[in-house]
């Protein structure tokens, strides 16, 4: 296997004759999000195939990248201001690859073919919910598409939204592979406030409005009234809905509010523990472009209470209990089934095993490599 940090020689096609791909590794730096998880999995899968030469690059002024990673020495906010307008190409800095793949909604100006990954379209649908930096990134995305960049998505649901919102047919869906399977140990970390054997519903993801945590809390309130031992564990970084979530919890009766545990950011080890000991996953987002927690829960054998928004039905398959993200009664009813019905849990576990067979990083790498070749050869 080739060293994943080794860049190709500058000047395009590598000595081996394989395509040279400028690949944005920015999402691998800092707090690892779902985008970072997608980029890491894609990078590993491409490196395992040796089908292309990866020339990693990073847009940052202060970051100290690993050996072999080319750096565009600009703050992202400054670069995005420039790239909303005609700007000089960055080919020389990145190493003049055959194609540049912007893996996080933005691809820099270049003379070579461009591919830009779009995971969801929430910030395009709801610009008022986005930060100024994210809105500028959206402007760069629009300009890139208008000037010929091809869009890569990880679900058909996102592909449909991209076509509508960006007015382009230059978009391709390639499903991502599965996340690493959680491995829960026999011991239980008592510092999270749950005793061994206590039932709990798990919420995974940044506490932002798109994740719809407040609706999950409202549904949990109804579940908790009937089941005095069940708890709700919210694991994810504080986001733009954190204050509203805190207020929603404060308004609950103390006997119910005390059964909601907010953990904030959790590391991979604790996440595996939570998945291994949870009773169900609550995933009632208003939009998702993929949704790794769906597959993580299915790998752990958890029943999923999910919404019908975005890509969630597409990724979860038949292995979830679905409702509108706005229907609190239906979410609560599905939570009740997931927590209490052995028959439902068994049926969902069987469906989960079948659904997981659809996801393979080897397939992701193969389809993406074919797309790279098509774009370089002008076939798309």
The average confidence (pLDDT) of the chain is 91
71 and 58, same domain (yes or no): yes
Measured CA to CA, the distance from residue 361 to residue 363 in angstroms comes to 5
Are residue 307 and residue 367 in the same domain, yes or no? no
In a domain, 15, yes or no: no
pLDDT score for 10: 38
Whether 314 and 208 map to the same domain: the answer is yes
Domain with 173, as residue range(s), is 20-177+360-376
Q: How confident is the model at residue 185 (pLDDT cuts 50, 70, 90)?
A: low
> Domain check: are 309 and 288 in the same one?
yes
* Domain-located, residue 184: no
Identify whether 329 is part of a domain: yes
At residue 221 the predicted structure's pLDDT band, cuts being 50, 70 and 90, is very high
- Give the pLDDT of residue 196: 75
Can you spell out the DSSP letters for 23-39?
A: EE-GGGSSS--HHHHHH
Domain identity same for 159 and 228 = no
- How confident is the model at residue 11, as a pLDDT? 43
CATH classification of the domain holding 59: 3.40.50.2000
- Residue 226 belongs to a domain: yes
The answer to whether residue 185 sits within a structural domain is no
101 and 124 fall within a common domain: yes
Is residue 46 pLDDT above 50, yes or no? yes
Please check whether residues 167 and 212 belong to one and the same domain.
no
Residues 230, 89 share a domain: no
Q: What is the predicted pLDDT for the residue at 248?
A: 98
Q: Which residue has the tokens 């986005």?
A: 130
pTM of the model: 0.91
Q: Do 153 and 45 share a structural domain?
A: yes
The pLDDT value given to residue 339: 97
Q: How far apart are CA 99 and CA 70, in angstroms?
A: 15
Lowest average pLDDT, out of 35-49, 266-280, 292-306, goes to: 266-280
Which alpha helices (DSSP H) does the chain contain, by range? 34-49, 76-83, 91-94, 122-125, 132-146, 156-166, 213-226, 242-250, 254-257, 268-277, 292-299, 312-316, 328-340, 342-356, 361-376
Mean pLDDT of 55-70: 87
Quick one: pLDDT at residue 186? 58
197 shares its domain with 344? yes
> Mean pLDDT over residues 99-105, rounded?
97
* 127 and 276 assigned to the same domain: no
In a domain, 47, yes or no: yes
Q: How many domains does the chain have?
A: 2
Based on the domain organization, do 87 and 219 belong to the same domain? no
100 within some domain: yes
In a domain, 341, yes or no: yes
Digit-coded pLDDT (tens) for 143-154: 999 999 999 999
Query: Which pLDDT band holds residue 95 (cuts at 50, 70, 90)?
Result: confident
- What is the strand order of the sheet 20-24 is part of? 70-72, 53-59, 20-24, 99-102, 114-117, 150-153, 171-173
């Amino acid at each position: 296997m080739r060293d994943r940090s080794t860049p190709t020689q500058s000047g395009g096609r590598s000595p081996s004759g394989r395509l040279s791909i400028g690949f944005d590794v920015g999402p691998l730096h800092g707090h690892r999000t779902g985008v970072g998880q997608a980029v890491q999995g894609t990078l590993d899968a491409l490196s395992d195939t040796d089908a292309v030469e990866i020339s990693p690059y990073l847009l940052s002024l202060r970051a100290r990248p690993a050996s072999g990673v080319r750096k565009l020495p600009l703050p992202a906010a400054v670069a995005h201001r420039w790239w909303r307008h005609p700007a000089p190409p960055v080919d020389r800095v990145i190493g003049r690859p055959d194609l540049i793949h912007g893996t996080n909604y933005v691809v820099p100006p270049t003379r070579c073919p461009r591919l830009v990954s779009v995971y969801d379209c929430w910030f395009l649908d709801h610009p008022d919910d986005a930060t100024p930096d994210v809105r500028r990134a959206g402007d760069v995305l629009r300009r890139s598409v208008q000037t010929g960049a091809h869009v890569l998505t990880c679900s058909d649901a996102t592909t449909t939204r991209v076509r509508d919102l960006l007015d382009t047919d230059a978009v391709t869906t390639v499903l991502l592979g599965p996340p690493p399977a959680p491995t829960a140990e026999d011991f239980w970390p008592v510092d999270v406030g749950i005793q061994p054997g206590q039932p709990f519903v798990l919420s995974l993801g940044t506490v932002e409005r798109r994740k719809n945590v407040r609706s999950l809390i409202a549904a949990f309130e109804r579940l908790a009234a009937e089941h005095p031992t069940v708890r709700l564990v919210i694991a994810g970084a504080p986001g733009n809905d954190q204050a509203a979530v805190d207020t929603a919890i404060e308004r609950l009766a103390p006997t119910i509010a005390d059964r909601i545990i907010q953990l904030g950011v959790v590391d991979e080890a604790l996440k595996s523990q939570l998945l291994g000991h949870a009773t169900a996953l609550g995933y009632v987002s208003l939009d998702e472009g993929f949704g790794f927690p769906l597959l993580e829960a299915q790998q752990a054998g958890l029943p999923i209470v999910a919404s019908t928004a975005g890509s969630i039905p597409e990724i979860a398959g038949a292995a979830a209990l679905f409702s509108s993200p706005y229907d609190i009664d239906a979410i609560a009813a599905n939570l009740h089934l997931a927590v209490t019905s052995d028959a439902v849990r068994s049926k969902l576990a069987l469906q989960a095993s079948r659904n997981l067979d659809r996801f393979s990083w080897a397939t992701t790498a193969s389809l993406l490599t074919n797309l790279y070749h098509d774009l370089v050869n002008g076939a798309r």
